[in-house]
């Protein structure tokens, strides 16, 4: 399996060029994969500000050279005050202060750095601070996001003062974030203490309180990320590990297990294969929507039990016996909607690899800006139920459902990690890519490049059973899927690459230790490689366009 950076000893695949370049510079200067991931993630918080940031959450999956695995849950909890608050309508709002959970990203950086890193956090964050200070050129996606949020907020909103004053807003114009640069350097110097218990914590809590939110100083002080064993299953001859709850990783697992039990691995016909995969998706999402406690391991294991899988196999097999039987339409789990996420995957020359995925949830999160800090707070609680079953203690430790998923695959002497943005489409994109790699022995890049489907758009008002097909899927396949009862999105509908994800994958072969990678052409994902003598290669996007490599810092430090 050789694609992407085939001759490299280390490689990073990330959601934007600047992040890939920053991570590669760390690798070239002797840093490890986790060092590179933190540096690249910090750059993404600047360059991909509408979709991730210091006010968001993160998940990571780390594999050491021996294949040992650890997952990091960097999700924050709901405010403790929500247990007794009265929320009109029973659902938390889409935007604003009530949609905010405790941000977990900053502590996730720290925990990863303390357990695996070899560089000071301040050094790793500095490239992001420099980018925020110096600014960057707006691309079309960032400019569109700015205009959308500006149209939605008042002229005196802190968002305008923080991000629009002195900055351009059109494609090609300069965009600087000096307040965010100062905040990044403060976190680098003081560590997470300033964010969860110190000056920044006070600023964050005061802002939320002033706007009528529920987050308190105690909520911030009580936050801590958790390392845990990932969820691991066998699919064919492959071993697949995913981030455990509250991540939706188990939904990816359920889809694959159902597909395998129903003989999907033997299907050659494309229409037949997509038909079965979509039906497996609907089954898994139906279970997800019906679960009140998706963060409880026992509840998750119940839907993955032989009895539960057999029940769904019987339902799906009955549907497929009648060629015109539509799939069981899956309900949508509350809150699992946003496509606005970014991710990265790294492998270093020692075989340490990490996939890191982080998000504000929806574009610009809650749209609550902490003045003078450059921090946008998440809307992770958007449209979540304001009440959960059980005691107030259950409320106080509750973390909301996350669409964010990272995976590790061991197959035929290769190990790889990966992730994709895409809201609840993440588990569907990962399902298709992993199936191609395992069943078809496709290279990661070939698997990523194949045309995809998406069942149920991640945005309203599209129906949850609407099936979107990328243009590369043939008219004959479209016609056969329609004949089998699938409700297809119009063929002439405008193409929206955000619907179909943006994969980042890196890995290594067991025998040669050679690194490989894949980056998605659908958004702005990029690869950057490091060669055996520490020479850093050019950074390229998924179309093969090259960009100058960022300079690295060559000082050796210990955390």
Place of tokens 């308190």: 216
Least confident of 56-60, 65-69, 326-330, 537-541: 537-541
3-state secondary structure (DSSP) of residue 226: strand
How many Cα neighbours within 13 Å face the side chain of 106? Answer: 27
pLDDT of residue 332: 52
Among the residues of 304-355, which ranges form H helices?
Answer: 306-321
pLDDT of residue 154: 83
Eight-state DSSP code of residue 385: B
Q: How far apart are CA 478 and CA 367, in angstroms?
A: 39
How many Cα neighbours within 13 Å face the side chain of 501? Answer: 36
Sheet containing 226-228, strands listed edge to edge, beginning at the edge strand earlier in sequence:
226-228, 69-74, 57-63, 353-361, 340-347, 10-14, 526-530, 536-541, 546-547
Give the rounded percent of residues in the chain with a pLDDT score beyond 90: 73
For residues 516 and 11, the answer to whether their CB atoms sit within 8 Å is yes
Q: Each residue of 131-187: pLDDT tens digit?
A: 999 999 999 999 999 999 988 888 888 888 899 888 999 999 999 999 999 999 999
pLDDT of residue 7: 57
Please compute the mean of the pLDDT values over residues 250-267 and round it to a whole number.
98
Please compute the mean of the pLDDT values over residues 443-466 and round it to a whole number.
82
* pLDDT over 70 at 6, yes or no: no
> Most confidently modeled of 327-331, 356-360, 391-395?
356-360
Q: Each residue of 287-327: pLDDT tens digit?
A: 988 876 656 667 788 999 999 999 999 999 999 998 677 77
Banded pLDDT at 472 (limits 50, 70, 90): very high
pLDDT of residue 458: 56
Least confident of 246-255, 334-343, 461-470: 334-343
Q: How far apart are CA 187 and CA 190, in angstroms?
A: 5
Place of tokens 């994800």: 501
CA 128, 132, 136, 139 torsion-angle sign: positive
* pLDDT over 90 at 51, yes or no: yes
Least confident of 32-46, 210-224, 436-450, 505-519: 505-519
* pLDDT over 90 at 482, yes or no: yes
């Amino acid at each position: 399996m050789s694609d992407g950076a085939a001759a490299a000893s280390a490689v990073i695949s990330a959601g934007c060029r600047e992040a890939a370049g920053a991570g590669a510079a760390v690798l070239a200067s002797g840093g490890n994969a986790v060092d590179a991931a933190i540096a690249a993630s910090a750059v993404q918080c600047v360059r991909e500000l509408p979709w991730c940031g210091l006010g968001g959450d993160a998940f990571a999956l780390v594999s050491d050279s021996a294949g040992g695995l650890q997952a990091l849950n960097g999700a924050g909890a709901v405010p403790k005050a929500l247990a007794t608050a009265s929320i009109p309508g029973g659902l938390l709002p889409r935007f604003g202060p009530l949609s905010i959970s405790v941000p977990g990203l900053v502590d996730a950086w720290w925990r990863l750095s303390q357990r695996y890193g070899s560089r000071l956090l301040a050094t790793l964050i500095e490239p992001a601070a420099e980018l925020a200070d110096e600014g960057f050129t707006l691309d079309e996606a960032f400019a569109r996001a700015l205009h959308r949020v500006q149209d939605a907020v008042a002229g005196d909103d802190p968002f305008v003062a923080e991000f629009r004053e002195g900055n351009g807003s059109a494609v090609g114009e300069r965009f600087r974030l000096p307040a965010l640069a100062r905040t990044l350097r403060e976190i680098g110097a003081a560590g997470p203490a300033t964010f969860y218990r110190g000056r920044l914590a006070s600023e964050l809590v005061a802002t939320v309180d002033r706007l009528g939110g529920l987050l308190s100083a105690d909520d911030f002080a009580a936050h801590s990320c958790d390392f845990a064993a990932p969820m691991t299953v066998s699919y064919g001859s492959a071993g697949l590990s995913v981030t455990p709850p509250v991540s939706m990783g188990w939904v990816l697992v359920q889809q694959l297990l159902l597909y395998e039990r129903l003989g999907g691995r033997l299907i050659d016909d494309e229409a037949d294969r997509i038909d079965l995969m979509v039906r497996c998706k609907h089954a898994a999402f139906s279970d997800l929507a019906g679960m009140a406690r998706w963060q409880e391991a026992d509840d998750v294991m119940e839907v993955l039990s032989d009895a539960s899988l057999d029940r769904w196999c019987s339902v799906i097999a009955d549907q497929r016996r009648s060629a015109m039987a539509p799939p069981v339409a899956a309900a949508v789990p509350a809150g699992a909607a946003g496509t606005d996420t970014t991710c990265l995957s790294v492998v270093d020359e020692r075989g340490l690899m990490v996939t890191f995925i982080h998000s504000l949830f929806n574009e610009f999160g809650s749209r609550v800006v902490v003045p003078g800090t450059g921090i946008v707070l998440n809307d992770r609680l958007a449209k979540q139920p304001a009440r959960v079953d059980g005691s107030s203690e259950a409320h106080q430790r509750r973390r909301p459902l996350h669409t964010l998923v990272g995976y590790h695959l061991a197959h035929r002497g290769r190990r790889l990690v990966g992730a994709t943005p895409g809201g609840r489409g993440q588990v569907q994109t990962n399902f298709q890519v992993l199936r191609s790699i395992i069943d078809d022995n496709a290279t990661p890049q070939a698997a990523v490049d194949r045309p995809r489907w998406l069942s149920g758009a991640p945005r309203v008002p599209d129906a949850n059973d609407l099936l979107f097909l990328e243009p590369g899927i043939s008219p004959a396949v479209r016609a056969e899927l329609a004949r089998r009862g699938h409700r297809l999105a119009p063929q002439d509908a405008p193409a929206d690459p955000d619907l179909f994800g943006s994969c980042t994958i890196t890995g290594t072969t067991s025998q040669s230790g050679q690194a490989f990678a894949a980056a998605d052409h659908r958004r702005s994902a990029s690869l950057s490689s490091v060669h055996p003598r520490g020479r850093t290669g050019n950074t390229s996007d998924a179309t093969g366009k090259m960009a100058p490599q960022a300079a690295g810092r060559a000082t050796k430090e210990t955390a």
